[in-house]
Amino acid sequence: MPMTRIETGAGWIGDRHVAVIEAVQRALKAALALPEWDRDVVVSEHPHRIVPPGRSERYTRVEVLLFAGRSPAAKRRLYTMICDNLAALGVPKADLKIALVEIPRENWGVRGGQCAADIELGFEVEV
């Protein structure tokens, strides 16, 4: 049940917001073995920001909040897939920063306020 935020500079996306969101969602689904229904991705454009020297206006941050427990291999697959998918939309791979924030299941309230540690999720977390 990842919650994903894509942050980038204003203007370059144009009318491709859905394409950017789908590029990241495809990576999440494939790398983390998520079911199709598990989707929570937003994109935000910022007209004013400070980015690392040498990076372009397409410098993009992807922050994923997710249940703790994914393997290092799954995380590496996710990083590679996000970079590949966004590169296909014109984001230089060097202009991407990806952060995973792992949260224990007991710290998530889902499906009407239930503790995620107390319910059957419908997918494996330890991939």
Nearest to 6 by CA among 41, 32, 30: 41
* pLDDT tens-digit readout, 37-72: 999 999 999 999 999 999 999 999 999 999 999 999
Q: For the full predicted model, state whether its pTM sits above 0.75.
A: yes
pLDDT at residue 4 tops 90: yes
pLDDT digits (tens, 9 = 90+) for 72-89: 999 999 999 999 999 999
Torsion of CA 65, 71, 72, 75, to 10 degrees: -40
**What pLDDT score does 61 carry?**
97
Please report the pLDDT score of residue 127 as a whole number.
Answer: 86
Tokens found for residue 121:
């999720």
Architecture of domain 3-118 in CATH? Answer: 2-Layer Sandwich (3.30)
